[in-house]
Amino acid sequence: MSTYSGSCHCGKVAFEVDGEIGTALACNCSICRRKGSLLWFVPRANLRLTTPEADASTYLFNKHVIRHRFCARCGIHPFGEGTDPKGNAMAAINLRCLDGIDLDAVPVQHFNGRDV
Contacts of residue 104, defined as CB under 8 A and 6 or more positions apart, other chains included, come to: none
Mean pLDDT of 85-95: 97
Within a domain: residue 86? yes
Tell me the pLDDT tens digit for each residue of 25-44: 999 988 889 999 999 999 99
Within a domain: residue 79? yes
Domain range spanning residue 33? 2-111
CATH assignment at residue 10: 2.170.150.70
Within a domain: residue 95? yes
Q: What is the pLDDT of residue 116?
A: 73
Within a domain: residue 13? yes
Proportion of the chain in helix, strand, coil states, percent, rounded to 5: 15, 40, 40
Within a domain: residue 116? no
pTM as predicted: 0.93
Beta strand residue intervals within the chain, DSSP E: 2-7, 14-19, 24-27, 39-43, 47-49, 56-59, 67-71, 79-83, 89-94, 108-111
Within a domain: residue 36? yes
Q: How many structural domains does the chain have? A: 1
Within a domain: residue 54? yes
